[in-house]
Amino acid sequence: MQEHDMSWVRTEMVLAQPAPAGVTGLGAWVRKNLIASTGDTILTIVGIALVAMILPQIINWAFINAVWTGPDRTVCATVAQGGIQPDGWTGACWAFVNAKFGQFMLGRYPIEERWRPILVAILFVALLVPMLIPKVPRKGLNAVLLFFVLPIVAFVLLVGGMFGLPHVETSLWGGLLVTLSLSFVGIAVSLPLGIVLALGRRSKMPIIKTLCVVFIETVRGIPLITVLFFASVMLPLFLPEGVSFDKFLRALIGVSLFAAAYMAEVVRGGLQAIPKGQYEGADSLGLGYWQKMYFIVMPQALKLVIPGIVNTFIGMFKDTSLVIIISMFDLLGIVKQNFSDANWATAQTARSGLIFAAFVFWLFCFGMSRYSMYTERRLDTGHKR
Amino acid sequence: MASQDVLREEPSRGSFINDPKIRGIFFQVLVVVLLVAGVWWIAHNVIDNLTRLRIASGFGFLKGRAGFDISESAIAYSSDSTYGRAILVGLLNTLIVAIVGIITATIIGFVIGIGRLSQNWLIRKICTVYVEVFRNIPPLLVIFFWYSGVLAVLPAPRDSYNLPFGSFLNQRGFYFPRAVWGDGSWLIFVALLVGIAMAWFVARKARQRQMATGQQFPVFWTSAALIVGLPLLAYALSGFPLSFDYPKQSTFNLTGGFQVRPEFLSLYLALSCYTAAFIAEIVRAGIRGVSAGQTEAAAALGLRSGSILRLVVVPQAMRIVIPPLTSQYLNLTKNSSLAIAIGYPDLTATAGTVLNQTGQAVEGVVIMMVIYLAISLLTSLVMNWFNAKMALVER
C-alpha cells in the first residue's frame, strides 16, 4: 500500500466515541420503552397500577399466606369455618396438594405396586432426554427403544398379569399417569396415521381420496367430547355380544383418531408447500411412490410444519383432560374428584388444586412449544418460504 | 407431437403388476370390499345388540315426553315437553354461549394482540404473560377454575357484592336489572332499524362521492348520530316506555332482575379468556405479516399514524387473519361442549341426557354430530364469504 504524505489527510483512525448521553443507559431505555409519548405514559401508569394491584395479592396468596403442610382441612380453614387460621385469612392450601400428591400422579394405583409406574417414568425420561438432545449419537437405536421397546415394557409393567406381576385394572389408573400415557400413545399413533391420511387426501385414486376427505372433515367438524361419547357409547354396540373393550383403550382410540385428523391437515399444508419440481425430480430418478415420499418429500414437508405438528401435540395433551367426561380420571379429573373429599373441603382447596394442575399442564405445554422453536431454528436450512 | 402420443400409448411396462393404473384400481377395489365388509359386520352387530336390548331404532323417540328439567332455557320448556324440544333448547344454549363468547374473545384477543406489538415494554410483557399462560393450559381447567375456584367461593346471596347500576354478584350468579319494554316500544326498534339502514345508505353515497370528486364526508359521526339519535327520538316520542326491574335483596335470595347463572358465567368467561389468547397470536402474526415497507410508504404519502393503521395496515392484516380466525371461532363453538362438565345444559349435555334416558345411542350421537357439523359448515361459509370480500382484488 502506498503511504500518503499529504498533510491534510489523517494517517490514523479516529477513536470510537462513546454513544451520546441520553441514548444509552437506564434513563434512555425508560424514555424509549415506557414514556415515549403522553399516551405511552398513561399506558405505563395503568400497567403499573394493574401489576401493583394483582401481583402482591398473588404472591401473598401463593407463598406468604400459603399453608404447606398439614394433616387435614383445619390448617386451611379459618376459625369460623372450623379451622385454625384467623378470620379473613386467604392463602393457598398446598397442604392439600402435598397430601394428595401420590394420587395426583398415579391415581388409585395400588400403593405396593407403585414402583412399576415410577420405573416406567424413569425409563421414559432416560430414553426421551437423549432423544431430545441433538448431539447424543445413536438416534436410530434410541428411537426404536423409545417407540417400540418402551411401549411393550411399559404395557407389561403397568398392566401386569404376567412374569409374576399382579394385574392392575386400568380403572385404577389415574392422574398424570393417564394424562401422559394417553398423550404418548396418541402422539405415537396420530403422526403416522395423520401422514397416511394426508397422503390419501392428495392421492389420485378417487375412492381413497373421498374416504380420507370425509373422515378428516367429519372429525374436525365435531368436538372431541362427541368423539369420546362415540367411543364410549357406540363402540360397545358395534362389537358382537360378549366382546368388550377396555375403557382406557376406547379413550385411546378416540383421542388418537381425533388428533390424526388434525395432524393430517397440518401435514397436507407441508405437502402443498413442496414445489412440484421435487416430485418430478424424484420421478425422473426412478423412485417409486413410497421411496419418493420417504426420501424426498416427507423430510422437507415435515420440517416445514414442525410448529403445526407440535401445536397439535400440545392441543392433544390438553385435550386428554376431557376423558373426565367419560368418567376416567386424568390429572385434572383426579384433582377435581378430590374436591369432594370431606377431609379437605375448604374454600381454598379447589383453587389450590386447580392451580397446581394448571402449573403441571403449563410446564409440559410450554416445554413442548419452546423445544419446537429450538428444533425449528436448528433445522432451518434457509429453504423456508 | 405425434411421437409423444405414440410414446404415451405404449407404456414399456414389464408386467401389468407394475402398471400404476391397474394397481390403483386393485387397491381401491380392495379398500371398498374391506369397507363394505366392515360396515356390514358393524351393522349386523348393532342390529343384534339393539334387538337384544329391546331398543327400537328410528327417530320416533324425539316425540316422547322428556321428563327432565333444564336449568336454563331460551324458549318455553318444562319436563312435559318432548325430547326434540329438549335438544332444541340445548342447541340454542350452545349457540348463545358461542356467539357471546366469540364476540368477547375477539375483543379481548385484538386488544391483547395489538398490545403485544406495543412500543411500551410493560404492556408488551403483560400481554405476553397473558398469552403464554392461557395458551398452555387446558380449556376445561380454565372452566373449572372459574366455576369452583372463583364463582363458588363468592359470598352467599345475603352478602352479595353490590355493583354499579343496581347489579349484584354472588354464589348464585350475576344479577342485573331487566329492561321492561312498555307499550309503544316497537317504535324504538323500528327507529333503530331505520337508523342502521340510513347509516348504510349514507356510507355508500359518501364513498361514491369520494370516488367521484375526492371530497370526504364525516361518515362515522353521521352514522353514530343516526343510529343513536333516531331510537332516542322515538323513545321520547312514544312517551318513555322503558322501565327497569331491579333485583332486590331479600333474606335468603335475590328476587327480580335478570340472573346469569354461574354455569353460564364460568363457561363464557373461560371460553373467552382461553380463545382470546389464540386470537391474540393470530392478530399479532397478521399485523407483523404486513411488511414494514407498507407502513413507511403510507407515512411517506403523509398519512397520520391512525390513518396508516386503519387504511393500510389493518385491511392487509385482515387477509392474513381471517382464515385462522375462522378456525378459532369453530374451536370455541366446539369447546362450548365442555359445558357438560359443569352442568350448563348445552347441546352435548341435553343430547347426552336424552341418550341415557332412551338408550337411543346411535340416533343421539348422530344428531349431535350432524348439528355440530352443520354449525361448523355454516360458520365456515359465512367466514369464507367475508374472506372473499376482504381478499386482494387483483387486476
pLDDT in tens, A74-90: 777 777 777 777 777 78
Find the CB nearest A321 among B52, B118, B140: B140
ipTM above 0.90? no
User: Does the beta carbon of B32 lie under 8 angstroms from any beta carbon of chain A?
Assistant: yes
Q: Greater confidence, B47 or B197?
A: B197
Closest-CA residue in chain B for A55? B126
On chain A, the residues whose CB falls within 8 A of the CB of B49 are 236-237, 241
* DSSP-derived secondary structure for A163-211: TTPPP--GGGB-HHHHHHHHHHHHHHHHHHHHHHHHHHHT-S-HHHHHH
Q: Classify residue B136 by its DSSP letter.
A: T
- Is B335 a residue whose pLDDT tops 50? yes
On chain A, the residues whose CB falls within 8 A of the CB of B121 are 33-34
**Cβ neighbours for B11, distance < 8 A, ≥ 6 positions apart:** B19
CA distance A332 to B144: 9
- Amino acid B167 reads S
- Is A214 a residue whose pLDDT tops 80? yes
What pLDDT is recorded for position A4? 56
Inter-chain CB proximity A47 and B50 less than 8 Å: no
Sequence spans of domains, chain B: 2-53, 83-177+246-390
SS3 B79: coil
What pLDDT is recorded for position B2? 46
What pLDDT is recorded for position A385? 41
Inter-chain CB proximity A44 and B334 less than 8 Å: no
Determine the average pLDDT of the residues in B211-239: 82
Question: pLDDT digits over A142-158, tens only?
Answer: 888 888 888 888 888 87
Determine the average pLDDT of the residues in B265-278: 92
Find the CB nearest A332 among B136, B141, B361: B141
Q: pLDDT tier at B1 (50, 70, 90 boundaries)?
A: very low
Residue keyed to cell 344454549:
B93
Determine the average pLDDT of the residues in A219-223: 85
The CA distance from A367 to the nearest CA of chain B, in Å, is: 10
Residues facing B168 on adjacent strands = B162, B175
- Is B68 a residue whose pLDDT tops 80? no
On chain A, the residues whose CB falls within 8 A of the CB of B122 are 33-34, 43-44, 47-48, 51
Q: Greater confidence, B112 or A3?
A: B112
Q: Where do runs of H (alpha helix) occur along B218-339? A: 219-237, 262-288, 292-300, 305-307, 314-335
Exposure of B330 in the CB half-sphere (CA atoms within 13 A)? 26
- Is B107 a residue whose pLDDT tops 90? yes
- Is B12 a residue whose pLDDT tops 70? no
The CA distance from B189 to the nearest CA of chain A, in Å, is: 37
- Is B276 a residue whose pLDDT tops 90? yes
Tell me the fold of A100-109+168-379: MetI-like fold (1.10.3720)
CA distance B364 to A228: 13
The pLDDT mean for chain A works out to 83
Helices then strands, counting H and E runs in chain B, come out as 13, 8
What pLDDT is recorded for position B10? 53
Residue keyed to cell 399514524:
B305
Tell me the fold of B83-177+246-390: MetI-like fold (1.10.3720)
Determine the average pLDDT of the residues in B171-183: 75
Q: At what angle are helices A349-379 and A94-106 packed, to 10 degrees?
A: 60
- Among A357, A221, A196, A64, CA closest to B369: A221
Find residues 306-335 of chain B whose CB sits inside 8 Å of chain A. Answer: 330, 334-335
What pLDDT is recorded for position B104? 94
Q: What is the CA radius of gyration of chain A?
A: 29
- Is B97 a residue whose pLDDT tops 70? yes
CA distance B27 to B25: 6
What pLDDT is recorded for position B9? 52
Determine the average pLDDT of the residues in A96-115: 81
Determine the average pLDDT of the residues in A17-22: 81
CA distance A257 to B249: 52
Determine the average pLDDT of the residues in B303-324: 85
> What are A5's three cell numbers?
504524505
- Is A384 a residue whose pLDDT tops 50? no
- Among B156, B146, B51, CA closest to B101: B146
Q: Greater confidence, B55 or B302?
A: B302
Exposure of A336 in the CB half-sphere (CA atoms within 13 A)? 23
Find the CB nearest A321 among B32, B141, B337: B141
Sequence spans of domains, chain A: 25-80, 100-109+168-379
H/E element, A225: helix A224-229
User: Does the beta carbon of A336 lie under 8 angstroms from any beta carbon of chain B?
Assistant: yes
On chain A, the residues whose CB falls within 8 A of the CB of B341 are 324-325
Q: Greater confidence, B216 or A48?
A: A48
**Cβ neighbours for A216, distance < 8 A, ≥ 6 positions apart:** A197, A201, A261, A264, A265
Q: Is A134 in contact with A107 (CB distance < 8 Å)?
A: no
Q: Is A211 in contact with A203 (CB distance < 8 Å)?
A: no
- pLDDT above 70 coverage of chain A, percent: 97
